[in-house]
Amino acid sequence: MPDFDKALQTQLHNIQKRTGKTLKQLYAILKKSGLEKHGELRDLLKKELSMGHGDANTLVTIYRRTEGGERSAATAASPGDALNQIYAGPKADLRPIHDKLMQAINKFGKFESAPKKAYVSLRRKKQFATIGPATKSRIDVGLNMRGVKATERLLEEPPGRMCQYKVKVTDSGDVNAELIAWIKQAYESAD
């Protein structure tokens, strides 16, 4: 969890730096817009402040938790909330696998971690990976990289999917040198 918290805090810091606005000012823009739907708020930030999709999505997610009444600002400010929701209930046993993956990926260098409803998107200039539970007993690691030959383990996804490849991970032992090498290749190709 600390790695996820750090990545989210870094992303929020970078959003403020790129826009020249504090979180309070950004939240005021969203509130003043009168818009309520997540997608409308995200698109507003992309249009008005030229924010990237991942940054806008993350900011709206945090805003709606703090300002939108889902929780009090004190509890919603915890960046690990989204990850806790992804790995809640029957999927909780998968969290150590996610943490092991993130521990390895954090050694690569800088990237953005954008939590979605059911997975976490990892981005540099573009998305290089997604990590999230596919079932209560499996995490799927989606990878964006081209020109790699699919294997029995590295499954090629049909055209039009969010990622070109997928690796199914069912236990911590599956987080091995082979998988980390594929993730690193995707990371390096997203620069």
CATH value at residue 185: 3.90.1150
Mean pLDDT rounded to a whole number for the chain:
87
Would the pLDDT of 79 be above 50? no
DSSP 158: P
Q: Which of 70-74, 84-88, 149-153 has the lowest mean pLDDT?
A: 70-74
- Cite the DSSP H helix spans in 69-164: 73-76, 81-86, 95-105
User: What pLDDT does residue 83 have?
Assistant: 84
Same domain assignment for residues 66 and 98: no
Most distant CA atoms of the chain, gap in Å: 52
User: Does residue 132 carry a pLDDT above 80?
Assistant: yes
Are 130 and 72 found together in one domain?
A: no
CB 131 within 8 A of CB 83: no
Total domains in the fold of the chain? 2
99 and 21 within one domain: no
Domain end marker among 52, 79, 106: 79
Last residue in a domain, options 49, 79, 109: 79
d(CA 149, CA 120): 25
Domain span holding position 73: 2-79
Residue 38 has a pLDDT of 86
Angstrom CA distances, 151 to 4, 157, 177, 179, stand at 30, 12, 15, 12
Bridge partners, 112 (sequence order): 123
